[in-house]
Amino acid sequence: MQIDFSKLEPLERYRWLASTITPRPIAWVSSLSKEGASNLAPFSFFQVINDDPATLLVNINHREDGSYKDTLINVLESGELVIHLVDFEHAEQMNASSAQLAHGVSEFEQCGIASVSSTQVKPPRVAGAAVAFECRLAQSMPYPPQAPNCHLLFAEVLVAHIDERVLDEKGRADPQRLDLVGRLGGMSYTRTRDVFTMVRPT
């Protein structure tokens, strides 16, 4: 089977990409508006792209009418965000926070998600999250250049919060204990508990 992407509608392209490039980690992003309203939303077009400086990349699509989502507005205005990884314990809350709420309505409050203060940025963190990265916006890039339909956010990690319960005996993150949620196609998700190892060749 061969698919010519130039002949597909955007929704068809999305479905093929989202159902094949899996599992995708989920960035659960908290941000703060200039009025002080907290926001929390998940994004699965997300990845680590550099370690010096430690940098994460989050793709935030524009709405169908071209307007910006609250997360994007907040991050572009404040230059700060917190990126959480989603463990299975928080999967339902993450899903609930994906609902489109009125501008200024906090997902933390609406979905009953407890928060704690961050240490180096103003947006709050999700209380009890297995992993949270406090970040500074390093660069934002509208894409594609000729007719942007999203923004690529390059987020430099300032500090990481790791729950000690997910560490192994050597003090490293254990994928079994992390029990992270990954995005598949459609409404499907997976967990990081099915693990195997391979030794790289010398």
Cα distance between residue 149 and residue 65, in whole Å: 10
| % of the chain residues with pLDDT over 90 | 91
Cα distance between residue 137 and residue 57, in whole Å: 10
Give the alpha-carbon dihedral of 52, 77, 86, 84, to 10 degrees: 50
Q: Which tens digit of pLDDT belongs to each residue from 38-69? A: 999 999 999 999 999 999 999 999 998 999 99
Cα distance between residue 96 and residue 104, in whole Å: 16
Cα distance between residue 201 and residue 13, in whole Å: 36
Categorize the per-residue pLDDT at 102 as very low, low, confident or very high, splitting at 50, 70 and 90: confident
- What does pTM read for this prediction? 0.94
Q: Which tens digit of pLDDT belongs to each residue from 150-193? A: 999 999 999 999 999 999 999 999 999 999 999 998 899 999 88
Cα distance between residue 179 and residue 194, in whole Å: 10
Strand order in the sheet with 24-25: 24-25, 181-183, 189-191
- pLDDT of residue 75 exceeding 90, the answer is yes
Cα distance between residue 58 and residue 8, in whole Å: 24
Give 39's strand partners: 31
Give, for 18, the enclosing helix (H) or strand (E).
Answer: helix 10-20
